[in-house]
Amino acid sequence: MMKRTMAMTSLNGLEQVLRSDDVEGLKMSFFEMQHLYQSATREISTKLEILDDEFQVIHKRNPIHHMQSRIKSVKSIFDKLNRRELDISIESAKANLHDIAGIRVVCYYIEDIYMIAKMLTQQDDIELVKETDYIKNPKPNGYRSLHLVVKVPVFFSDGKEIVPVEIQIRTIAMDFWASLEHQLRYKTVDAIPPSVAKELQECADTIADTDMRMQRIYKTIEQFNYNTEE
Ligand code: GTP
Ligand code: MG
């Protein structure tokens, strides 16, 4: 295992700290690690697609609007290990970073979020490692989503590996706010001024209120259909 010896901000920085004959090997191992996490992402995505399809068959609607997945780039992995002053190694990345593989699941209604989370985490090959409910406890800036870290086994020719995947589950409305807030934050050179932060937070509350109203409308319609079908 290699000890961190100096500040690094990029792959080029890495080259300066490593002996030249190590560089290619280490980069290669990180690319192989990405394949491992890519495979774990596929396992989870398939499970979610199966749940979504089954719900469609039974209830004639999909709970999942869309999903996105991403694997942290090798550079971002290095940068994060570096920022947290951790060893730059495969072992260190695997042990310390739980968001190398990430899936974002965008649902129609708030209750779909909890249903999907429950159905996934009760599967007997899935281990729930961490759950943070930013819907019941929104972040001070107004951010809402349910965050899970789960571990899933991935089978290869020479055995299996248990791999963590970070899952963010949110409604279309929560995703709308988070996407715009993310973009605004990147556009702002300095910190967002307090008055703007307050307004953003108020928008998040308004959106959350609308989310609940839409869910009530859905329930009303569902009940109406149920009564007229009888
Ligand atoms: P990190 O190591 O920084 O990922 O810490 P963490 O895992 O404790 O982070 P957290 O659960 O707070 O957030 C993980 C991810 O959720 C982020 O990478 C974003 O994609 C998303 N997220 C969290 N907070 C916000 C927010 O305030 N705004 C937006 N737009 N996205 C957020
Ligand atoms: Mg994270």
Nearest to 83 by CA among 31, 144, 9: 9
DSSP secondary structure code for residue 229 in this structure: H
Half-sphere exposure of 50 (CA within 13 A, CB side): 9
ipTM over 0.90: yes
Residues 5-56 have pLDDT tens digits of 333 334 545 555 455 456 777 777 877 888 999 999 999 999 999 999 999 9
Residues 138-172 have pLDDT tens digits of 999 999 999 999 999 999 888 999 999 999 999 99
Q: What is the pTM of this model?
A: 0.89
Residues 71-96 have pLDDT tens digits of 998 889 989 999 999 998 888 999 99
d(CA 38, CA 32): 10
Instruction: Tell me how far the alpha carbon of residue 102 lies from the centroid of ligand 2, in angstroms.
Output: 9
Q: Considering only CA atoms, which residue is closest to atom 25 of ligand 1?
A: 143
Distances in Å between the Cα of 155 and the Cα atoms of 111, 159, 175, 215 are 33, 6, 33, 39
Which residues are the active-site residues? 166
Ligand nearest to the CA of 132: 1
Enter the tokens of residue 212.
């609940």
Predicted pLDDT of residue 6: 34
Q: CB under 6 Å to ligand 1: residues?
A: 99, 132, 139, 141, 143, 147, 168, 178, 181-182
Predicted pLDDT of residue 1: 37
Count of C-beta atoms within a 10 Å radius of residue 117: 21
d(CA 168, CA 133): 10
d(CA 197, CA 140): 10
